[in-house]
Amino acid sequence: MKLSEEQLKAFDEEGYLFLPGCFSPEEIGALREEAETICTSEREEVWREENGAPRTAFAAHTYNEAFRLLGAHPRLVEPVSQLFGEPVYMHQFKINAKAAFDGAVWQWHQDYGTWARDDGMPEPRAMNIAVFLDEVMPVNGPLMFIPKSHTAGTLQAGHDTATTSYPLWTLDRETVTRLAEEGGIVAPTGPAGSTLMFHGNLVHASPPNITPYPRKIVYLTLCAVSNHITKFTRPEWIAHRDFAAIEPVPDDALQRYAQSRPQAA
């Protein structure tokens, strides 16, 4: 899948693109079922909220066929390669959950701030491309972006190891207030199967989910091959060390996988 000139321009100006209807209900249904199984497992890659609700499941593409296919899907890999002008590798793969009633906050941050400080990534030539496994609504903990904030570069941040179960380099209130006054705040919402891609320096966060409506989002962190990390302080299943370019699977690979699954009784 290639981005149009208008989409490339919008990404450059705003720092993100929202692509509704990127995956079919059948493809998403198979992924959602696999995600439920993974999030209830006892694997070390599955991190939980303090109350035990699943929060983040890392590296599912390394042991689950459905997510392996998603991690090499051309609808995700090709647009990022197009933006960077070179092949990409998988820096990180995670399923982030906001459990009904129990999904906690993610504080304001830039992803590249963590990749640079913790992983030694040379430049912000990596980004997240996210797939909604559930409908994301204004009320169930959507991602919130500050448009154009990627143009501010990599900002000073503090290492937050207490607010969430996942350590983050987070921004202070004064910085977030200033950026929001300049760019506003948006929260892209839409049905399962929608896709978001956003710049590594785009400032973002998500509020708690206190509704009965869970939401899961899969994130592929794709990095330009020439920009691979140089520090190995985090486990390999969090910050991957295989810098080989991703070879995209056929566009219908995930659809065929979904169709081949046994139907529930």
**Model pLDDT for residues 161-185, shown as the tens digit of each residue:** 666 656 777 788 999 999 999 999 9
Distance of alpha carbon 96 from alpha carbon 113, whole angstroms: 19
Q: Is residue 244 pLDDT above 70, yes or no?
A: yes
Please state the domain extents for the chain: 16-260
Q: Which residue has the tokens 């143009």?
A: 151
Distance of alpha carbon 235 from alpha carbon 258, whole angstroms: 31
CB-CB contact of 162 with 242 (8 Å) = no
Distance of alpha carbon 101 from alpha carbon 263, whole angstroms: 30
Q: Tell me which fold the domain 16-260 belongs to.
A: Jelly Rolls (2.60.120)
CB-CB contact of 201 with 149 (8 Å) = yes
pLDDT digits (tens, 9 = 90+) for 7-63: 999 999 999 999 999 999 999 999 999 999 998 888 888 887 777 777 889 999 999
